[in-house]
Structure 1
Amino acid sequence: EDGRELGLWRVDVANGAVEVVFNAGDASLRNPNISADGSKVVAELGAGLVLIDTIDGSTSRLPVFGSFDPSVAEQYNKTVSSDAKDLAVSPDGESVAFVSGGDIYVLRKHDKIQRCARVSTNPAPDYSPVWIEDGEALLFVSERDGNGEFYRAKPVRDDLPFYRAVDFEITRLTETSVDESAPALSPDGKRMAWARGPGELVVGSPLTFEIERVLYSGFEAPSFEWAPDSRWLAWSAVNDDFNYDIFIGRADQDFTPFNLTTHPDDDTNPHWSPDGRKLAFTSRRQMLDETDVWVAWLNRDDAEMSERERLEAAEAKQLAKEEEEKKKKELKKKDENKDEPAEEGEEEEDDGEEEPVLVEIDFSDLSLRLRRLTKFEANEKALGWSHDSEKVYFNVSQGTRLTSGTSGEKGFFEVDIWDRETDELESETISSLVLVDKTVFYVKKGKIVGREEKAETYPFSVRVREDRPALRAAIIDEGWRALDRMFYDPEFHGHDWAASLAKWRPLAASASTAEDFSVSMNWMLGEMNASHMGFYGGGKSEAKETDKQITGALGVIWDDQHQGAGRKVAEVIKGMPAARANSALAVGDIVLSVNSISYVVGENWARLMLATAGEECFLKVVNAAGEEREVAIRPSAWSAVRKALYTRKVEMARAKVETESAGNLGYIHIEGMGQSSLLEFERDLFRAASGKSALLIDVRENGGGWTTDMVLAMLMVKNHAITIPRGGGVGYPQGRRIFATWDKPIVVLCNENSYSNAEIFSWSIKTLGRGPVVGKKTYGAVISTGAAHLLDGSYVRLPFRGWYVNNAERTNMELNGCPPDYPVENLPGDFSAGIDRQLDKAIAVGLDLIAG
């Protein structure tokens, strides 16, 4: 935002002045490495290397010569036997279509005979198979022509079922300017529903795809399901406040969609019962962000029946069914005794088909006829119904934003809708559930399972030939398309996004290793100049066997001025191995050897500590009096040291604030905007702020998260009343509040490494006028991000929602950091000197607030 040129820069340690060394222009300068004397830097530039003179900025290209053997084969065979998803069972129940690795497959549903065919082979992703034409053909979505469009697949030989066919005729059915996706054929086969573009739900002809009506239009396509009578659909749609509700609409006539749930928290995953009388869904309407399975009674009678009435009605229905079957048997016996066919008006033998379901909905007070079915201490997600409409299938998983790290039940369950008794069906969660007759199909750990009375796995194994460069080209195209469709700014920050693909696609497709491919992908994404971006999961090409050892740490700060043998302890870090009573080191101790290996001055200390984390080690130590001893110690991993050093830094800052403010100011540092830091902040409101007149809240070096609004809930509350117990003083019952609160003055510290939600917090304090902000402008990296998963299992982060300051200008927080009220620069040399100019200023500002 300061208009700096891209390239190599240098900064003066003493005064912070900066100057450019080399301007890279439109090229990408990467991975610089400086020479020992500081005079030269070598770096990647575009697809080559450049040597930069740090004195005069002159450059020269470094040609690279040689040849190499690829670390991975460009063409290779692989066996597809897992990673199934998107199940679709044929009308006759004998074939199962599914997706694996971006291709369509069909297997024969047989417990002993294994047959499976690969239907689509294009490198681009194919998905969402749907059986059409009474099971004679498959409809699916493909991105092979640069857009999500519908295609039809059919065996070239009409006499072969899909699972025995080798060749397939693939025909493109749609050609539109937007993506078509999520096709779903109505149960009667007369209509198709699908998602169109980024956020439309439409219904139309399954033959021509001519749209009859648009049921929903928004910025995100809803998840939806057909009712069993093919007249109704239910869908979950999001509003501008990112709240999801369940809606019901008609496919066959104009009808204003009905909001079933009308709740200010998420309601998703609608599923019709086979009898058309109930709708199950997932709801987040309890505390702690947990989700449960709920059911809506579409008919008032069902909701109002007592258990006795329900059982009696079920009994009467069963008796009527038995009576009907008895009459049919008598008719059949009568017909068998006749020599001629039945006369006009006389019933013929019934074909055994059940009467079609007709969904009738009583909308009066429907939003009040909702019942909670599950009450696990976990997240439950509705998946579908049993064939008799008596049970709902659901997944159970652990952990929400507020309950991360918890343990408990998980897996695939069913719940009885009447007595709410639950049964575990699988110990792992499942996906892609489909009900066909009395059998429910699903995917468990990438395998296809069918369950009626018991679970039965249907294995598949197909040998395929892969072209790695073609696959990589398809992956980079898919990742580019995801951002092209969904990036929050349609102008891409003023960048030519198509030019980035043209620039990086050849390099990515020809990458010799997975790591090089990932680098190319990430540099393409980086040209958008946006935060919260990245390509992940691209794989590794390193050897299967590597020597990876964890370097141990004693938990001390060494005296860098020590000139003699060994290493001298300058400080012992609290909570670390060297601070424990049975392995204590002291200031002034000199460590001469580790496990009988002497330390030689100037050599690499880390080599002595290699593979010692968590293992007992023996140190030869000499104290300040010259006395030698052996210390048995169990070093920790460096992650523990980093945490201990963070705690040390916070305690030093807190002590400084309390000392220089004569105990009038409290100090809290928020490490991150997540659950653990949120709980720590609430504790610190008592531990560090109690009895203080003002509070310094430090979000420097805070990488972000999601808790700004919860922190504000602690800082923005005013007492509407007070309480006074007999014999006590003025107060307010803490148990009546969601969080502890602080309503006295605050000062917030931020800097250029305050990121994402830490920036939203800094902006919120300024916008709401809660207190002054001290430090340096924040990074300017504020976007809500999700993920787009790619056909090989990798993914790109997908910034889909921008954040704007609620001011007259609606300042975009992305690329526009929060400017402090009191700008203060910490110079590069300040840290090693123990100077914190920003904290010093915050103390002065806080004292001024107290003085009034």
Structure 2
Amino acid sequence: MRSKGACRLDAAACCAVLASILGLCADAPATGPVGYYRQPDVHGDTIAFVAEGDVWTVSVDGGVAQRLTSHPGDEQFPAISPDGTRLAFVASYEGPRELYVMPLAGGLPERLTFDGGAIEVAGWTPDGRVVYSTRSRSTLPNVQLVIVDPSDPANPPDAVHPTVEPIPLAQAAEGTYAGDANDPMRSLVFTRQAFQGSHAKRYQGGTAQNLWRFDRGATEAVPLTADWTGASRWPMWGRGRVWFASDRDGTMNIWSMAIDGTDLRQHTHHVGWDVLGPAMDGDRIVYQLGADLHVLDVRDDSDRIVPITLASDLDQTREQWIAKPMDYLTSAQVAPDGKRVALTVRGEVFVFPAKQGRRVHVDPDSGTRYREARFMPDGKSLLALSDRSGEIEFWTLPADGLGEPVQRTTGATVLRWTGLPSPDGKWIASTDKNHRLFLHEVETGETRTVAQSPIGDFGDIAWAPDSRWFAVVGQAPNLFRQVSLCRVDDGSLTPVTTDRYDSGSPFFSPDGKWLYLVSERHLDTSVDSPWGPYQPEPYMARTSQLFQIPLRKGERSPFAPEDELHPEKGDKDKGKETNKDKEPGSGTPDKAAAPPTPGDAAAPEQAPATTSTETAAAKPETVPPIEIDLDGIASRIQQVPVPPGAYGGLAVNDGALFWLARDPGENTRRLLAVEIGRDEHKVVTVAEKVSAFELSGDGKTLLVRRKDDLNLIPAKAAAADLAKTGIDLSGWLVSAAPRMQWRQMFLDAWRLHRDYFYDPDMHGVDWAAMRDKYLPLVDRVTTRAELSDLLAQMVAELSALHTFVYGGDLRQGPDKVQVAGLGALLERDADAGGWRVGRIFRSDPDEPESAGPLARPGSEVAEGELIERIDGVSTLSVADPSILLRNKAGRQVRLEVRSAGPEEASRAVIVEPIGMREEANLRYGDWELSRREAVERLGEGRLGYVHLRAMGDSDWTAWAKNYYPVFTREGLIIDVRHNRGGNIDSWILSRLLRKAWFTWSDRVGAPPEWNMQYAFRGHVVVLCDEWTASDGEAFTEGIKRLGIGTVIGTRTWGGEIWLSSSNNLVDRGIATAAETGVYGPEGAWLIEGHGVEPDIVVDNLPHETYNGRDRQLERAIEVLQEQIRREPVVVPARPAFPVKK
């Protein structure tokens, strides 16, 4: 449908291409800005394309483009009608992404769809109807093609509705009609699969796009490009041939073939730059290459760049103001004296006073990203990570903003992580992405590598008060976290906790006599036996306990109870300073041994700017050396007398311990505290719903973050008054220079991919060359969406899955009017007087709460009935009933419903429509229910069925609901088709590996109770398809390798390099990096790039599947029935009782 109706470049032409890519094309007009051009279409001498998130038109010869749309949201996928008078496109005028049509000369757009989003324009039919792709009509979430007629000649002139016609194919994402003048729509050539979502050039996994043909009247579609396992997509019809883009030579180029797939020809020969989004009209194909548009003349394969400038004010490149800076907060740190906080927001650093004072924007520079800014112990300067040098290094900045940043480290080759300065300000302890632990000397800039872990990252760091030691968390070979002490003078590491338990969150007491930590040692299960439904298993909900380690032998715990050798002090000493009323070892015994405090730092507006020399010279009060006896230190660990829980994040001052706790099943955490002393050890809730906290250097103040609120509260074991201690963030706006920030984000994304990608050799790709190749195009970018397009092109060079580009400051319109539905397919019946209910999507009858609006008790509407009015408005007065349901999801709506002919009286029904996401879930549930019912019917009650949509916690719920009721059956189908992945494959595989090895027997009856409980004794088949992804593929491969069952279906997606999605950019967007590869015991990488091969290949063909057949499920049932016939599943009969007379 992208058609209406390449080239071999010599050296000069190649230079012209490169010059245009760099924005330096000599043929480009001298006036007007050059943009970033995407998604073109062509009709005659007119090209429509997208730039700045709007639709533009320009001559095929180039020139100054004219803007057609100007809505604040993005418009996409323009397609010009065959007669050249109208333009179809996708827009988000009301919030959801829907299909619109407007005059090509300009005018008011008309909305054609109410699908609730995920719409793309595929093109036009030869007779002037729009073809678009959508998931809204598929039960299993497949992309399908639908035709909509914005001006059906059969309709009267005052008709208000478009005619909608689904194309009967279960999977079809792009397409073009092929034929001749007598029958221009004889065949549909279509791209069977939608884009699989991950940006990977040269992808050849199971979801690789390929072309098929469906002829009018045919029983089934046929493949056209099955000879190539890579991509073939964007079909176009012209000059009696099918034109398309394919990566058969390693780069997406223009090819053509005969209608039967023969006579393959290549027309462009680009190297390294993919042809994107081609469209055809007559003898021309227009396409995107880099940031430019090209025109290919198919008569002679001549190819040229279209020189375009924009008549634009480049509004999205001007300075932007962020109204909610806390949405971008990545770090909040308190000053040593507790009177200020340093905030890292959107890569910039701000210092806020606790109460009154000046707000400081430190080193405002949108072209630099700062990370994890925190105060140095002098209180005058800040330590932060920055990319100012091109690598992530430590810099110090003046806390008052009056001075220049000073670089403190050099030589970084990979992402450095948070650094913690020593109390005397002389050292910085830090880690990096390559599992290395460093010590940096501030004054000299010297860096020492203390250790490199072969197992995993180093974690929390805590300094001793004398700056001669620090504690650090690493990983033992058994994967448990282990706390070690590092001696600064020689860099030696000594473990102080055992590797038998997981330990972390170390913190020194202010007097330097104790090291406190959290350790997972309370391993009591809340489940007391394996008996009961759903296979009860041990669950340890509250594993964490607080511990203390005396750093010298013979220290008495400050929590130890009074005894005759250690009586409690008299009443005359009570109420005095904490450091004077405690026993030696429990507090600060004298002034000489006081913890380092920076003193009262100058207010931000009074503090002088600091230089490198001044920062190094600002020395806190001297602290006597702390003596640590390492001999047997791990065995001296003592438990702090507080109940176990789910704990993390620990801090200690003279009077109390503070930590975070999460209750089982809750997502929020509480800040808890307990006083240090011999009296009742009462745990106090300091604050609820806390996301993070930090103790100030002087131990007197706690910084508490709760959602978007920051509080500075006294560091005491008492409930905080949060209403009076909040930091004033009102009126705070953060500015950003988009083009500077886009350049920074591009380089950051490149660097983060280098540092996160699982293969240090980047799959053999010259990654520095890729940066240099794409960086010049950043200057062409005029919107955040264009930057995402550019990032997608760059990261795709690695040819790795799990490489997604999404998020960030994407432009959105002001309206958010959501579409709602009734959980049914409706068909207009003007003769009958309304919209007829064609199909009501069903839900699991055992879960009545999941029923759709028309199937709920008291609101029953039957299929075939007519909906005449919605809230009193005739349904025939609107283009789609969804118009009358906008913004009404979850609210009561009155329907006037009639059962049959016009003689029947209508009745009123009150329903609550659901949102489009809920309706999609309902459609999916209908598909699941119909598969389960088919297995029950065709399997004659001997087979079970479980469908897993993904591999997350909710999918474990689906497993429990559907497996345990059928665990006694002879066969089991586990359906992971369209499984979106997750991480619970081992949970399910371990259940399937359980074996029944004896059976319990009572006096009477024969209950199916065997050991291991709920072990499946029968035969297993797993169904997979090309959309089985990630952990769904790991599960499928596990079924094969562990010998659990037979896999039936088609080759899967091929994405098995796992990711954490933690390499975010400053605006919260991301180009995810594939971080953790998977290989088998034979030493070969598994699944990635190819997918899992089923044992039995069965394809659900597009047309028959649309009509309701599920060939894969049928084969699964047949295979299980045959396996049961050959190997019957029999529960051993009870033997004769023994005779012992």
Indicate the TM-score class for this superposition, using the shorter chain for normalisation.
0.7 to 0.9
1:478 is displaced (CA, Å) by 1.3
Preserved contact between residue 202 and residue 216 of structure 1 (Cα < 8 Å): no
| Count of aligned pairs between the two proteins | 799
Match of 1:549 in 2: 817
Higher mean alpha-carbon deviation, 53-62 vs 359-368, is at: 53-62
Are residues 1:501 and 2:767 paired? no
Higher mean alpha-carbon deviation, 585-594 vs 296-305, is at: 296-305
TM-score, length-normalised on structure 2? 0.62
Match of 2:1096 in 1: 822
Preserved contact between residue 578 and residue 633 of structure 1 (Cα < 8 Å): no
- Identify the match of residue 714 of structure 2 among 423, 439, 451: 451
1:187 is displaced (CA, Å) by 3.1
Match of 2:670 in 1: 411
Match of 1:148 in 2: 392
Preserved contact between residue 207 and residue 1026 of structure 2 (Cα < 8 Å): no
Given residue 784 of structure 1, which amino acid in structure 2 is its aligned partner? Answer: W
The 2-side partners of 1:244 and 1:475 are apart by 33
- Identify the match of residue 457 of structure 2 among 197, 203, 220: 220
Are residues 1:294 and 2:559 paired? no
Preserved contact between residue 746 and residue 770 of structure 1 (Cα < 8 Å): yes
Match of 2:743 in 1: 473
Given residue 101 of structure 1, which amino acid in structure 2 is its aligned partner? Answer: R
Preserved contact between residue 996 and residue 1010 of structure 2 (Cα < 8 Å): no
From the superposition, tell whether residues 764 and 371 of structure 1 become closer, same or farther in structure 2 (CA, over 3 Å). Answer: farther
Please show how residues 363-402 of structure 1 align to structure 2 within 5 Å.
363=632, 366=635, 369-370=638-639, 373=642, 375-376=644-645, 379-385=646-652, 387-388=653-654, 390-397=655-662
From the superposition, tell whether residues 76 and 827 of structure 1 become closer, same or farther in structure 2 (CA, over 3 Å). Answer: closer
The 2-side partners of 1:39 and 1:288 are apart by 69
The 2-side partners of 1:540 and 1:310 are apart by 70
Deviations 1:58-78 (A, max 9, x none): 998777564123343523577
Please show how residues 465-544 of structure 1 align to structure 2 within 5 Å.
466-508=736-778, 510-543=780-813
Given residue 656 of structure 2, which amino acid in structure 1 is its aligned partner? Answer: K
The 2-side partners of 1:368 and 1:319 are apart by 21
Are residues 1:11 and 2:285 paired? no
Match of 2:1063 in 1: 788
Match of 1:346 in 2: none
1:703 is displaced (CA, Å) by 0.5
The 2-side partners of 1:320 and 1:368 are apart by 19
Are residues 1:112 and 2:356 paired? yes
The 1-side partners of 2:764 and 2:623 are apart by 60
> Could you say what the CA RMSD is over the residues aligned between the two structures, in angstroms?
4.4
Higher mean alpha-carbon deviation, 281-290 vs 645-654, is at: 281-290
Are residues 1:838 and 2:1112 paired? yes
Preserved contact between residue 207 and residue 1053 of structure 2 (Cα < 8 Å): no
The answer to which structure, 1 or 2, has the higher relative contact order (CA under 8 A, 6+ apart) is: 2
Unpaired segments of 5 or more residues in structure 2? 1-201, 215-219, 226-231, 233-243, 247-251, 254-271, 524-538, 571-579, 592-619, 843-850, 1127-1141
Given residue 798 of structure 1, which amino acid in structure 2 is its aligned partner? Answer: A
- Structure ranking higher in helix proportion: 1
Query: In structure 2, the residue corresponding to 1:532 is in which secondary structure?
Result: coil
Match of 2:470 in 1: 233
Given residue 1043 of structure 2, which amino acid in structure 1 is its aligned partner? Answer: G
Given residue 476 of structure 1, which amino acid in structure 2 is its aligned partner? Answer: F
Preserved contact between residue 466 and residue 625 of structure 2 (Cα < 8 Å): yes
1:673 is displaced (CA, Å) by 1.1
Are residues 1:202 and 2:413 paired? no
Please show how residues 11-90 of structure 1 align to structure 2 within 5 Å.
11-13=212-214, 14-19=220-225, 20=232, 21-23=244-246, 24-25=252-253, 26-28=272-274, 44-49=288-293, 66-72=310-316, 74-75=318-319
The 1-side partners of 2:362 and 2:499 are apart by 44
Identity %, equivalent residues: 23
Query: In structure 2, the residue corresponding to 1:659 is in which secondary structure?
Result: helix
1:710 is displaced (CA, Å) by 0.8
1:201 is displaced (CA, Å) by 0.8
1:707 is displaced (CA, Å) by 1.0
Match of 2:866 in 1: 590
From the superposition, tell whether residues 630 and 323 of structure 1 become closer, same or farther in structure 2 (CA, over 3 Å). Answer: closer
Given residue 118 of structure 1, which amino acid in structure 2 is its aligned partner? Answer: V
The 2-side partners of 1:5 and 1:430 are apart by 41
The 2-side partners of 1:793 and 1:139 are apart by 23
TM-score, length-normalised on structure 1? 0.81
1:106 is displaced (CA, Å) by 4.8
The 1-side partners of 2:459 and 2:659 are apart by 20
The 1-side partners of 2:898 and 2:1059 are apart by 54
Deviations 1:743-783 (A, max 9, x none): 32211111111111110000001111111110011111122
Please show how residues 762-781 of structure 1 align to structure 2 within 5 Å.
762-781=1036-1055
Match of 1:329 in 2: none
Higher mean alpha-carbon deviation, 301-310 vs 314-323, is at: 314-323
The 2-side partners of 1:310 and 1:142 are apart by 58
1:521 is displaced (CA, Å) by 3.0
Preserved contact between residue 369 and residue 388 of structure 2 (Cα < 8 Å): yes
Unpaired segments of 5 or more residues in structure 1? 155-161, 327-350
Deviations 1:163-201 (A, max 9, x none): 2x6333635652454555533333345544232562211
Higher mean alpha-carbon deviation, 291-300 vs 89-98, is at: 89-98
The 2-side partners of 1:352 and 1:500 are apart by 51
Deviations 1:186-217 (A, max 9, x none): 33455442325622113353322435562443
Match of 1:749 in 2: 1023
Higher mean alpha-carbon deviation, 25-34 vs 315-324, is at: 315-324
From the superposition, tell whether residues 263 and 816 of structure 1 become closer, same or farther in structure 2 (CA, over 3 Å). Answer: farther
Please show how residues 559-598 of structure 1 align to structure 2 within 5 Å.
566-574=834-842, 575-598=851-874
Match of 1:614 in 2: 890
Query: In structure 2, the residue corresponding to 1:758 is in which secondary structure?
Result: helix
Given residue 737 of structure 2, which amino acid in structure 1 is its aligned partner? Answer: D
From the superposition, tell whether residues 380 and 196 of structure 1 become closer, same or farther in structure 2 (CA, over 3 Å). Answer: closer
The 1-side partners of 2:340 and 2:893 are apart by 62
Higher mean alpha-carbon deviation, 278-287 vs 711-720, is at: 278-287
1:715 is displaced (CA, Å) by 0.8
Match of 1:713 in 2: 990
Preserved contact between residue 203 and residue 215 of structure 1 (Cα < 8 Å): no
The 2-side partners of 1:140 and 1:60 are apart by 49
Deviations 1:100-143 (A, max 9, x none): 43234456x66434363524647222334566695665554321
Match of 2:113 in 1: none
Deviations 1:277-315 (A, max 9, x none): 132236497546767453243367646985224993664
The 1-side partners of 2:1088 and 2:416 are apart by 31
Query: In structure 2, the residue corresponding to 1:778 is in which secondary structure?
Result: coil
- Identify the match of residue 436 of structure 1 among 674, 697, 721: 697
Given residue 900 of structure 2, which amino acid in structure 1 is its aligned partner? Answer: A
The 2-side partners of 1:611 and 1:115 are apart by 41
Deviations 1:661-697 (A, max 9, x none): 332222211122112221221232232x244211111
Match of 1:340 in 2: none
From the superposition, tell whether residues 656 and 592 of structure 1 become closer, same or farther in structure 2 (CA, over 3 Å). Answer: same
Match of 1:703 in 2: 980
Match of 1:336 in 2: none
